[in-house]
């Protein structure tokens, strides 16, 4: 039983996602747009690795749908990629979480690239043209930022006393 003083701060987990959503919508201008990493995906990967039992496929799907609504885009586009990322990360979570952080970065890079490829492919199917190839920079930056995000979110998790 949880005693006083060790009560879990359950709001921290959703709060990190809200921050990621805000970062996603942050106006950075046309020339910096392609440098912005996929914050929501990075946060999602962290929580899938740290607490695979908390983030179910449904959670991933809901987060993706929220992102679709936030982006005023085609409904279900991000929902699909986020569900897929949740599935893949949960699948290998117990193995990947014991890797050194730089190896996790490689894993994160692969996931980010997969998401990007799917998004570009959907764009091609719908619009008939390829857009967003400039986003490859964001993939590299996302993977490079992973150690910091990992460190920051681990502090958040410990502070919130989640397992």
Q: Which residues bind another protein (CB under 8 A)?
A: 18, 21-30, 33-34, 36, 66, 69-75, 119-120, 123, 125-129, 131-132, 135, 138
Phi, psi of 2 (to 5 degrees): -80, 130
Q: How far is CA 136 from CA 34, 73, 112, 125, in A?
A: 8, 20, 9, 20
Least spacing, CB of residue 30 vs another protein, in Å: 6
Least spacing, CB of residue 58 vs another protein, in Å: 17
Q: In this complex, which beta carbon is closest to another protein, that of residue 19 or of residue 88?
A: 19
Q: In this complex, which beta carbon is closest to another protein, that of residue 122 or of residue 162?
A: 122
For the beta carbon of residue 87, count every other beta carbon within 10 angstroms. 12
Question: What is the C-alpha to C-alpha distance for residues 157 and 48, in angstroms, rounded to an integer?
Answer: 12
Question: What is the C-alpha to C-alpha distance for residues 73 and 132, in angstroms, rounded to an integer?
Answer: 14
For the beta carbon of residue 135, count every other beta carbon within 10 angstroms. 21
Q: In this complex, which beta carbon is closest to another protein, that of residue 39 or of residue 50?
A: 39
Q: In this complex, which beta carbon is closest to another protein, that of residue 106 or of residue 117?
A: 117
Q: In this complex, which beta carbon is closest to another protein, that of residue 113 or of residue 120?
A: 120
Least spacing, CB of residue 119 vs another protein, in Å: 5
Q: Which two tokens stand for residue 33?
A: 């747009």
Quick one: how far is CA 136 from the chain centroid? 16
Least spacing, CB of residue 163 vs another protein, in Å: 28
Least spacing, CB of residue 93 vs another protein, in Å: 27
């Amino acid at each position: 039983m949880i005693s006083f003083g060790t009560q879990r701060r359950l709001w921290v987990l959703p709060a990190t996602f809200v921050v990621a959503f805000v970062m996603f919508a942050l106006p950075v201008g046309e020339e910096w747009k392609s440098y912005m990493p996929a914050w929501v995906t990075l946060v999602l990967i962290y929580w899938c690795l740290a607490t695979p039992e908390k983030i179910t496929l449904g959670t991933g799907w809901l987060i993706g749908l929220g992102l679709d609504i936030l982006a005023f885009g085609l409904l279900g586009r991000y929902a699909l990629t986020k569900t897929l990322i949740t599935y893949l990360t949960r699948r290998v979570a117990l193995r990947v979480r014991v890797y050194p952080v730089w190896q996790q970065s490689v894993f994160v890079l692969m996931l980010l690239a997969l998401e990007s490829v799917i998004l570009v492919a959907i764009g091609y199917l719908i619009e008939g043209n390829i857009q967003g190839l400039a986003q490859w920079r964001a993939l590299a930056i996302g993977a490079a930022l992973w150690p910091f995000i990992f460190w920051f979110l681990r502090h958040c998790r410990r502070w919130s006393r989640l397992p």
